[in-house]
Structure 1
Amino acid sequence: MSSLRILVGVKRVVDSAVKVRVNKALTGVETTNVKHSMNPFDEIAVEEAVRLREKHGKLVSEIIAVSCGPTKATETLRTALAMGADRAIHVKTDSALEPLSVAKLLSKVAAEEKPDLVILGKQAIDDDANQTGQMLAGLLGWPQATFASKVTVDGGALEVVREVDGGLETVKAELPAVVTTDLRLNEPRYASLPNIMKAKKKPLKTVSPADLGVEVAPRLQTIKVTEPPKRQGGKIVESVDELLSKLRTEANVL
C-alpha cells in the first residue's frame, strides 16, 4: 500500500467530569450551560491515528476527523485538528441522532473520502450504545475489530489485540477496515497552544444529512427519563446472626 488515509469519528458529549442531571421536562439530561467535550473513547481514536502516522511517517498520508451533530460540534472537531488531524468534516444536524443514522452518515462520508482505515471510540459516554462502529462496518462490508487495546498496521494488513471476557484476542484483517478503541489502547495527548492556533486555520467542511442522501429522523421515542433512586443508608449490626436475619427478612437475598 502506497499510502494510508484514516477517517476518525468524534462526538461532542457532556464532559465526563460533570455530574449529569435530568432536565425538568424529564425528556433527557440537562445540557444547557453544561460543559461539553470530546467523547473520551474518541480522543483515544484520534490519538491512535496520530500515533500511526508518527510510527509510519509518510505512509499515513492524511487523517480526517468527522463529527455528526449541532453547530458546536465544530469545537470538538477543532480539538481533533489540534491533536493532529489534517482536516475535518462536520455533518450538521440539530436533531438527536441514533447509532444507525450516524453509521449511515459515516458510511456516506467514507464512500466519498475512500479511507483505508476508520477508527471510532467503542462507545459514547452519553448513550453507551456501542453500536455505531459495528453498524458502519456492516454497511460498508468491511472487516471490523472492536474493543482494540493494540493496533498494528503492516502494509495492507491490520492486526488488532482486542479485549474480550476471557482475556485478549488477536485478530487480523485486510484493509480497508473499521476499528473501535478501548480505554487501554493509549493515553491521549493534550493539544499544545501552537497546535490549537494552527487548528483554527485547518480546513473544516460542513455538509448536511440531505447532502449525503441520508434520512436521520429518529425511529425511537424517549417516553421518560428519571434519575436512579437514592441509595438507602447502611445499618450497623451487632452479630452475624443479626446480619443473617436482616438479609433474610429485609433484603430478601437468602
Structure 2
Amino acid sequence: MKSVPPKTSINTQQALRYSRQILLPGFDLDKQEKLLSSRVLIIGAGGLGCAAAQYLVAAGIGLLTIVDDDQVELSNLQRQVLHGEKDIGFHKSQSVKDALVANNSEVVITSLFQRLSDKGLREQLQEHDIVLDCSDNLVTRNQINAQCFAAGKPFVSGAAIRMEGQLASFTAKPGDACYRCLSASFGEQNLSCMEAGIMSPVVGIIGAMQALEAIKILTAFGKPLVNKLLMFDAMTSEWRRFNLVKNSHCSVCGDATPNKC
C-alpha cells in the first residue's frame, strides 16, 4: 500500500482549497495538517460509503482505501451517488475511486475488490488510522468491531434502512463500550435494503455524519459519539441520543476478555 508522507506544512494551494475549514474556531492549520496525513479505511462502497468517502476526500484526508466485493447494479443508483449508469457491471470500489479522484487528485486512493478475511482486515488496520463501517450486514459489523478492538483502532459505525438511521463511534479503548455491547441485543433477523427498502437521502445523511465523526476523531476536534448511539427518524426528522454502556461480560471487550482476537 502507498504510504502518506508526513505533512509538515500546508502549501498555498491547499490553504486556499481548505480555507473554509481552517477558518473554523479551534480547527486551524494544525488540524488540517493532521487530516492531510491521515489514513482512512472504508468498508463498503454502497450508499453509506459513497456519502462518507466524498466528504472525507473533499475535506482533505491523506489516504483512503475502499473495500467492496460487489458490482454496480441499476437498483444501486437510487442512493449510491458516486456510481453512474456507465458504471453498471463494474466494481463498486473502482467506480467510487474514479469519482473521488476527479474531486481531489491529491488524495492517495486505493480500491480493493474483495471481502476481507480476519487476517486481511488485520493487515489493513496496520496501515490505517481509523475505519468507517459502511457495510450492510451484522456479520461484517461484528467482524470490524472485533478486529478494531484487538488492534486498538477507532471506527465509526453507520446503518440505514427504510426511513431510519443510526450512528456511533467506538474508540477500542478498554473502558468504552464496543459495537458488540450493542449488537448482542439484536435479533437474528438482519434485513437488507433489498428486503425492507431505503429512502435515498437517509443513507446520505448517515454517511455524511460518519465522515464528520471520522474528522472529529482524527483531529481531536469537537466531541465524537463515543459511548453514544444516535438514531435518526426520517419520517419525523427527529434525532434521538442514547447512552451506550460497556457490558462487562461482552465477548469482545468484557473485563475477562483479553485484548486480542
Bin of the TM-score, shorter chain as denominator length: 0.3 to 0.5
Higher strand share: 1
**Structure number with larger C-alpha Rg:** 1
Higher helix share: 2
TM-score by length of 2: 0.37
Structure with more relative contact order (C-alpha pairs < 8 Å, separation 6 or more): 1
